Amino acid sequence: MSDARTFRAPGRVNLIGEHTDYNLGFVLPIALNLDTRIRTSPSLDSFLHVHSAAHGETCSVPVAGIDSLTPQGHWSDYIFGVAFQLRALGFDIPALNLHVESTVPEGAGLSSSAALEVASALALLQGRQLDRLELARLCQRAESYFVGMPCGIMDQYVSVFGREHAATKIDCRSLESEAVPLPDGLAIIAVNSMVKHSLGQSAYRERVAECAEAAKALGVASLREATLERLAGVPMSRAARLRARHVISENLRVEHFVEAARAGDVSRMGQLFLNSHDSMRYDYEISCAEIDFLVEAAARLPGCHGARMTGGGFGGCTVNLVAEQSVPAFAEAIKDAYMAYSGRCPAVIPCVPAPGACEIRQNT
């Protein structure tokens, strides 16, 4: 009998509700059928050894030294950041070998980092109990305070709480969620632009600060509490006003999208996707030429109800609502169009809602 164990955590695609999580609003992601898997075995020294198959590298730290770790700007920061946060909650970190493999593409806006954090937390816990919401929050802290990316809770939350057969509407203020089943016959297709512009991280910070500025000017604790009527009457910088307009209208779009999904109204769902994309493009200013091309090209294709960028911005994937029977023709046509435009071959990724993170039990 081996002592090996395997833990998995999914990536996500966000259907709608972009940059609303750190404004304590609503988001509607699905946990993906793409995941990060970590195989663990006891290590024979007192070190934590982590090996990434994707990077072909191993990093080792003594378990006694985890409290004094600092970020290195390296893929291992996500894992050691989680170890650091577990120590802060009083958990001992066992001496282990961690072998990391992932089917979540990096830099595609499908949350490979949250999948890695959540899988790492389960791997390091080795079956010890931690409340699921605490698990998500711990991984968010690892990313915000250790890796240094001041993200919201969406990615880690859905990686923990994702459900099969449905999207997950998260209220980022109460941290409660509900299942939102999608209409039959509708496929969710991500199209990876294969570009990620490097201003992503600094632009994210800037947006977080501009939203805080707008909330302050409006006299509310978060933009979740703001309305478009109130926004119209309060002086603030141009950037803060545009960001606030996106966040307030995006929260409304999430509510409307959920209503439309429940009513099976796919053309309204598609229209809300396009409106959301315009809002990200013109008010939040986080799109880029490649993504705008993909959204516009998709919207013209038969069977595609709507498209928008998904994730933090400046590249990565679009998410498309496509009638199931049109998917093969859609995939062909969007590949051809994007190849002709950019010379790059986009990955077309069918997204199937998958359950949240868990241990994979071997039954052989």
Which stretches of the chain bind ligand GLA, using CB under 6 A? 14, 18-19, 21-22, 111, 151-152, 154-155, 311-312
Name 321's bridge partners: 188, 306
For tokens 């499908």, the residue is 110
Q: Closest Cα to residue 11, out of 81, 87, 113? A: 113
Tokens of residue 287, six digits: 């799109």
For 332, residues 6+ apart whose C-beta sits below 8 A from its C-beta are none
Identity of residue 206: E
Give the Cβ contact number of residue 131 at 10 Å.
9
For 17, residues 6+ apart whose C-beta sits below 8 A from its C-beta are 25, 26, 27, 28, 29, 154, 250, 251, 253, 254
Q: What angle do CA 11, 302, 18 make, to 5 degrees?
A: 35
3-state SS of 324-351 is HHHHHHHHHHHHHHHHHHHCCCCEEEEE
Catalytic (active-site) positions: 155
Give the Cβ contact number of residue 255 at 10 Å.
16
